[in-house]
Amino acid sequence: MTKRTSTWIAVAIVAMAILLAYNFYLLNKTQTANEDKAEPVKPFYTMSRIQYVEKKLSTTEDALETRTYEVVFDDKGRFRTEVIDGPSKGTMAIWDGKMFREYNADGKLLNETEASKSVSAPRPFLSRGFNEQILKFIEDGDFGQVEGEADIAGNAADVFVKKEPSSTVPKEWIKQYPSFFDKDDNAEEATYYVASDRSKVLGAESRNNGKLFYSVKMQKLETLDTFDPNWLKAK
């Protein structure tokens, strides 16, 4: 695997979010055909409360939508995530260690999926797989030198920017988002905000021709001393 290929795997993980119209989760590990043989995945976050802001392309117009999420994790990595601001405010999802359930703003169950062997994550950048892969790219020098510094959710962060000529943009993207993607000339770059102690990824952004089309950044990150079991129950 070339550095270019491995780098774009990371970029694809970030850009993937624009294809998930409104899906709260991504399994950290692909489940095997035989669920009983799947090995549990160690969660990346435990006993934590995280607020993050996500900007992604709207499914109905040529524009970005902004949502703020809050996630609480217990000591086993089980979580509750809720939209606390923006479109779909009040919708939430809960992973209780056995089932992943999604609810609308009125608390009505919309979907449930058995996910007892693999740990779910509300967003790729909160998953162990994503964080460890990005940190490995940095350690291996694939992202080059630090381009700057930033403060993300009270944490010192180093900024890495990876620029690459884009592969062909899907025709449907160009048609639906003409202000973000060009028919012939596209140059993408990915920006990663990584904790200065190299412990975690605090944010990621994707731009095409200099224009932001996806962003996710932590707004608040705190450690919990206690976890209320009721947080893993619907309202």
The angle subtended at Cα 60 by Cα 56 and Cα 64, nearest 5°, is 25
- Is it the case that residue 223 has pLDDT exceeding 60? yes
What percent of the chain stands above pLDDT 70? 79
Please state whether the predicted TM-score (pTM) of the whole model is above 0.85: no
> CA 119 from chain center: how many Å?
14
CB 25 within 8 A of CB 95: yes
Considering the four listed CATH numbers 3.30.420.10, 2.30.30.60, 3.40.50.300, 2.50.20.10, the one that applies to the domain covering 3-22+40-232 is 2.50.20.10
- pLDDT recorded at residue 199: 96
Q: What was the pLDDT predicted at 5?
A: 37
| Confidence grade of residue 80 (pLDDT, cut at 50, 70, 90) | very high
222-to-100, 127, 219 alpha-carbon distances in Å: 24, 17, 10
Is 16 in a helix, a strand, or coil? helix
What's the pLDDT tens digit per position in 90-114?
999 999 988 999 999 999 999 998 8
